[in-house]
Every structure is written in C-alpha cells, then in structure tokens.
Amino acid sequence: MERKVRVRFAPSPTGPLHIGGMRTALYNYLFARQQGGDFLLRIEDTDQGRFVPGAEDYIIEALKWCNISPNEGIGFGDGPHAPYRQSARKIMYREYVDKLIESGNAYYAFDTAEELEALRKNAEANKSSFAYNANTRKSLINSITLTTEECEKKLKNGDHFVVRFKIPELGQVMLKDIVRGDVVVEVSSLDDKVLFKSDGMPTYHLANVVDDYLMQITHVIRGEEWLPSAPLHVLLYRSFGWEQVMPQFAHLPLLLKPDGNGKLSKRDGDRLGFPVFPLNWTDPFTGEVSSGYRERGYSPEAFANMIAVLGWHPTGEQELFSMDEMIKQFSLERVHKAGAKFDPEKTKWFNQQYLKKQTDIELAQSLSQYIEKQPKYSCIEESRKELVFLETVCKLMREKVHFVHEIFDMAPYFFFEPQSYDESVISKKWNDDAEKVIQTYLQSLQTETEVKSNRYEELFKATCADLNLKDGQFVQILRVCITGMSGGAALYDTMALLGNDIVIARLKFALNKLS
RNA sequence: GGUCCGUUCGUCUAGGGGUUAGGACGUAUCCCUUUCACGGAUAAGACACGAGUUCGAUUCUCGUACGGACUACCA
C-alpha cells in the first residue's frame, strides 16, 4: 500500500542552524510539498548537556524567514504526534529499549565512561582502536558477561548503566539510498552503539528510529554525516520488526568550505567574511555575534534559491527558481553525490537577480526601512525620506547594486550634501575652464525654474558650446560638484530629482570649495 | 588506522559510449554609455590518473591517487 509521504527535519538545538541545515530543511520541504505529503519539525534535544538557550527559537524563526514551513511540529502548531520535542517524549523510549533487551537485541552495560576512555587511550597507544563490539563485549561488564543475578543486583543497586545495541556477529546490511544507490556494510565492522544513556535519555540512534516509526516517516532526508550510522538504523528497524515500514533514506552531500577542504563550519563565516547562518545569532554564553543572510540584506527567495542549487539541479540550464518551481521540479534522484564547495561570491549575484524582479516601489519600501535604522537618519531632510523620493532614487540606482541597502550606501548624495570631492577627478580635471563652465552653468540655472532632466543636459551643452568648449570633458566635473563622487546615478536625472534649489546650492558650495 | 562516500573549467553545474564537452558565477577584452552599473559580444578555463570492455570511452568496469564523512553515554 502506498503510504502518504511524511518527512521530517530534526535538528538538535545546540546552536543556530547553518546553511547546510537550512538546505536539508529545504529539500525535505520541497519533497513533501511535491509529493503532497507532510513535513514536520522535530527537535532532537536528547543531549541535555548541549542545550543552548534560544537555539530552538532561532531554528523556527529561520525556517519561517525562508518560507520553509513545516505543517506539523514545534513552532508550527504541533499535530497528531505531539510532543515533537524528544526531551518531552523521554518516557516513551524506555519501553522500546526494553523490547530490544527482551528480544536479545540489546543489553545492559555497566562500564563507566572513564573505563572505556582508558581502553580507548590504551588502544591508541598501541596504534589500534577500541570498539565495543562482538569481540570486546565478552570481556567487559555487561549483562552478557554477568550472571542474571549479578546483573539484577546492579540494577537494583541503582548502579549506572547504559543499554547497548547488540550487533549481530555475522552478515551484511544493505542500505538503499536514493542519492547513493545501494550501500553494503559488513555488520562485523559496526560497534555496539549506546541506545540508552545513563541519564535516562535515549541517544540519537534510538530516539530517531523510534520517533520516525511512530510518526510514520516515509523518507529520511539528512546530511551525509549520517551515512555511516545508517546501517545501524536499518538493524534497529529490523530488530523492532519494523522493516516493512522503514523509511527510505536519502543522504545529502555536504557543503564544503570555500577554501581548502572539509565541511563548512560555523567558524568559516567569521574567518572568511561571509555569513554561514540564515539570521544573526548572538551566542548566549560568550555574547559573540555571527552574522546572518537576512541582516546582510539577502531576500529569503534569493537565499532559498541559492542553497537549493548547491547540490541539486534539474536538467537544463535554468538557474533561477521560485519556490513553486522548485517544488515542481525537485527530485532526490537529481541530488548530487559529491559535496559542494560554497561560493560566497555567487550569493551576491543571486540576490541581485531577485532584486531586479522587484518594482521601484517595493525597493523603496525596503530602502526606507534600512534608512530608518541609520545613525544619521535624523540628519536626512524629511522630503528625502518620503517614499516618492525613494522610489525615484531606486529607479536611478537599481541597476547598480546587489542589495537594496547599497542604494543608500553607494549614493549618499541623494540624502546628504557632499562635503568633499573625489580627489582623483578634481586633480585631473579641475582647471580654469572647468571653473568657468560650472560658473556659467550656475548662472544660467539661476534664471530657470522647475528644471527637468533633459533641460539640465541641454543647458549644460549650450553652456559649453557658448564657451567654445567640449561638454564631454566637463561632465565628470559637474558630476563631482553635484554628488562629490566619480560614479553614480544618471547625472541629469539626479539633478532633476534633487531640484533646482539644491543643485544651485551644491554648485555654489563646490565652486567655493574648489576654486 | 578502520568503515563508508565521493572526483566534469578556480567555483556551482548540464551532458553522456562517437559532442567544437553546454550554461552560470568570477576573471579579461570589446560594444553600449558623459560616470558607475545594467545589457550585449568575445576570450581564457574542466572530464584526476592507469588499465580493462568496445570499432570507439569523459561516459561502463576494476584499480590507483586525491579529497571527504564517520569512528562519544554528541547530534
């Protein structure tokens, strides 16, 4: 019988999600939406020692920002399988561990962490390695080596114990992975992983399998770092007798560092100057702030598009995909096998592409929000904060930027009176002729009212012609006098927007400063 | 070390037994343009290596090299 597709994103709230985690969430979401299935968010907080305040809220906020909405789970209205936080499901796991112990697939182990650590160190010193497995469990302290009485006594005593999975001695596990094909592993290479910790909490392996079963998950889409433990998970399903409803696996390629090798980590962002997180994050312990894509001015659509094509691509040469297009075209079969090196440069291009799709007024609204947060906001004249003004600014600047905020950052002359003038242009082009041109132009402007863009141009050309000079040589000078800068928006349009009074004032000021 | 995964321009990728191996980012040059951009055009730039299968392999198989993940009472 065809089951309804149900997938989950199951992060651990140990810090902010980075772009790799966001991509995993996205792929789960795309797949669920395309298949008409469910997508749920489950919080895997079985390690109480790694709890980080705020991390869970961060995850929810990041998903919402990116329009990756689970239809079930923490932060999204829960659902029929609540609770969706593993710490709140704690009591359920014990029942399942007991089943495994009863069926002989798991056993109590009483070795302390220190004892095992010593064994590991020892093995390392001998250039070998220690694993709790079929060979070594016979000589360690557990319910296999202990008599039933001894074991019960220890349990009754309240001695600390863990429950370990008993890996079969012989055989192979075959894992069918949608991305990678069949992966075969000898069970003898696996070790007896802890399923149930001495603090009464399950480990990831147990909780993940039990919850996926209970929540009727059909596809496990997760990062490649889980591939090595996937055979264990298969064995777990088998031991529980759940193999018929075992989810299909799809292990996603890793996101790699832009420089060198290795998987992208939280540190790389600060080191290389680009965000690795969707949103800003302040570490609650150190106060350290890591920057996010949202705060850097990326649109969520651009962000989603850019992470989606890092490891997945449909046939053809399309690069830009709306969320709906991605939902339509996504397929796990077309996810790459190899890891993708993250390229921070290309992210800017993606944002630019999405910026181009926005209307002037939409841009003006975003720009307005940005300007309000500027320290010099109060110095800006009121009329230049108005949307109609900003709309024209955006119209003039939109082709020149990757981000809305750059409109403000790159073109301060729309908001402030220039105080200094680009030295490279002045030193090269400011001379007696230039002064004469600006002087004459200023005079003719003073006789005009309501000057339009093409009139500014006409007048400037006429001014130069009257002086027997070529206008082309002096346009740069005019630009610098008006804006202070050597590059920027279409000059005469800029002047028209600013208005004749401002233009005259700026020319006077410049003449004063430069001559 | 062991287990597993991977390898097409610098990067993201399309392709796939016979192709001038395509696109995008970035880089360079040119055109457009009074600037800066946008846009357009052009250029440089890749099938890791060695065998095998085959008339033919970048594509299939096997090795080698290189890279990566995992190897906790973390997820």
pLDDT digits over A127-168, tens only? 888 999 999 999 999 999 999 999 999 999 999 999 999 999
Quick check: A209 CB within 7 A of strand B? no
Are A370 and A408 contacting, i.e. CB atoms less than 8 angstroms apart? yes
| Nucleic chain B contacts, protein chain A, residues 66-95, CB cut-off 7 A | none
Q: What is the mean pLDDT of chain A?
A: 95
Quick check: A142 CB within 7 A of strand B? no
Quick check: A250 CB within 7 A of strand B? no
DSSP one-letter string for A470-504: -GGGTHHHHHHHHHSSSS-S-HHHHHHHH-HHHHH
Between strands A281-282 and A289-290, the pairing is: antiparallel
Nearest nucleotide over every DNA/RNA strand to the A341 CA, judged by C1': B11
> Are both A281-356 and A417-515 of the same fold?
no
**Which residue in the list A90, A266, A341, A385 is annotated as catalytic?**
A266
Spatial neighbors of A471 by CB under 8 A, at least 6 apart, are: A460, A461, A463, A464, A465
Nearest nucleotide over every DNA/RNA strand to the A164 CA, judged by C1': B73
- For the segment(s) A417-515, the CATH number from 1.10.10.350, 1.20.120.920, 3.40.50.720, 3.30.70.100 is 1.10.10.350
Report the half-sphere exposure of A75 (CA within 13 A, side-chain side).
22
Report the half-sphere exposure of A217 (CA within 13 A, side-chain side).
27
Which CATH number describes the domain made up of A281-356? 1.10.1160.10
Quick one: pLDDT band at residue A86, thresholds 50, 70, 90? very high
DSSP one-letter string for A350-391: HHHHHHHHS-HHHHHHHHHHHHHTSTTGGGS-GGGGSHHHHH
Quick check: A317 CB within 7 A of strand B? yes
Residue type, A199: D
ipTM of predicted complex: 0.95
Question: What does the pLDDT look like over A169-182, one tens digit per residue?
Answer: 889 999 999 999 99
Q: Using the structure, give the distance in angstroms from the CA atom of A326 to the C1' atom of B20, rounded to a whole number.
A: 33
DSSP label at residue A195: E
Q: Using the structure, give the distance in angstroms from the CA atom of A229 to the C1' atom of B54, rounded to a whole number.
A: 40
Give the pLDDT confidence score for residue A127 in this predicted structure. Answer: 80
Q: Using the structure, give the distance in angstroms from the CA atom of A430 to the C1' atom of B40, rounded to a whole number.
A: 34
Spatial neighbors of A186 by CB under 8 A, at least 6 apart, are: A171, A172
The domain made up of A89-252 is a member of CATH 2.30.29.30: no
Nearest nucleotide over every DNA/RNA strand to the A86 CA, judged by C1': B75
Quick check: A297 CB within 7 A of strand B? no
Spatial neighbors of A486 by CB under 8 A, at least 6 apart, are: A422, A424, A425, A476, A479, A480
Give the pLDDT confidence score for residue A358 in this predicted structure. Answer: 96
| Nucleic chain B contacts, protein chain A, residues 182-201, CB cut-off 7 A | 183-186, 189, 191, 194, 197-199, 201
How far apart are alpha carbons A459 and A503 in whole angstroms? Answer: 13
Distances (CA, A) of A133 to A111, A128, A166, A189: 13, 14, 8, 9
How far apart are alpha carbons A393 and A479 in whole angstroms? Answer: 16
Q: Is a pLDDT exceeding 90 seen at residue A372?
A: yes
Quick check: A464 CB within 7 A of strand B? no
Give the pLDDT confidence score for residue A124 in this predicted structure. Answer: 84
Are A44 and A10 contacting, i.e. CB atoms less than 8 angstroms apart? yes
What is the percent of chain A where pLDDT is above 90?
90
Give the pLDDT confidence score for residue A1 in this predicted structure. Answer: 60
Report the half-sphere exposure of A275 (CA within 13 A, side-chain side).
24
Give the pLDDT confidence score for residue A451 in this predicted structure. Answer: 82
How far apart are alpha carbons A53 and A55 in whole angstroms? Answer: 6
Catalytic residue status for A346: no
Quick one: pLDDT band at residue A448, thresholds 50, 70, 90? confident
Residue with smallest Cα–C1' gap to B6: A338
Q: Is a pLDDT exceeding 80 seen at residue A75?
A: yes
Nearest nucleotide over every DNA/RNA strand to the A310 CA, judged by C1': B12
Quick one: pLDDT band at residue A464, thresholds 50, 70, 90? very high
Handedness of CA A267, A268, A273, A277 (dihedral sign): negative
Give the pLDDT confidence score for residue A496 in this predicted structure. Answer: 95
Give the pLDDT confidence score for residue A473 in this predicted structure. Answer: 87
Question: What does the pLDDT look like over A7-54, one tens digit per residue?
Answer: 999 999 999 999 999 999 999 999 999 999 999 999 999 999 999 999
Spatial neighbors of A234 by CB under 8 A, at least 6 apart, are: A173, A174, A175, A246
Q: Give the count of beta carbons closer than 10 Å to the beta carbon of residue A199.
A: 12
How far apart are alpha carbons A110 and A152 in whole angstroms? Answer: 12
Residue with smallest Cα–C1' gap to B37: A400
Q: Which nucleotides of B are covered by protein (CB under 7 A)?
A: 1-8, 10-15, 22-26, 34-38, 67-75
How far apart are alpha carbons A47 and A202 in whole angstroms? Answer: 9
Give the pLDDT confidence score for residue A501 in this predicted structure. Answer: 94
Q: Using the structure, give the distance in angstroms from the CA atom of A441 to the C1' atom of B51, rounded to a whole number.
A: 79
Question: What does the pLDDT look like over A285-302, one tens digit per residue?
Answer: 999 999 999 999 999 999
Q: Using the structure, give the distance in angstroms from the CA atom of A349 to the C1' atom of B44, rounded to a whole number.
A: 22
Question: What does the pLDDT look like over A298-318, one tens digit per residue?
Answer: 999 999 999 999 999 999 999
Distances (CA, A) of A134 to A160, A165, A173, A188, A236: 22, 11, 16, 8, 16
Instruction: Please report, for chain A, the start and end positions of each structural domain, with discontinuous segments joined by +.
Output: 89-252, 281-356, 358-413, 417-515
Handedness of CA A218, A224, A226, A228 (dihedral sign): positive
Quick one: pLDDT band at residue A271, thresholds 50, 70, 90? confident
Quick one: pLDDT band at residue A203, thresholds 50, 70, 90? very high
Give the pLDDT confidence score for residue A36 in this predicted structure. Answer: 97
Are A162 and A132 contacting, i.e. CB atoms less than 8 angstroms apart? no
Q: Using the structure, give the distance in angstroms from the CA atom of A312 to the C1' atom of B38, rounded to a whole number.
A: 29
Which one, of A466, A355, A364, A367, lies nearest residue A409 by Cα?
A367
Quick check: A336 CB within 7 A of strand B? yes
Beta bridge partners of A176: A182
Nearest nucleotide over every DNA/RNA strand to the A49 CA, judged by C1': B74
Quick check: A491 CB within 7 A of strand B? yes
Report the interhelical angle of A432-446 vs A475-483 (nearest 10°).
Answer: 70
Which one, of A162, A155, A154, lies nearest residue A198 by Cα?
A162
Spatial neighbors of A217 by CB under 8 A, at least 6 apart, are: A6, A7, A8, A211, A247
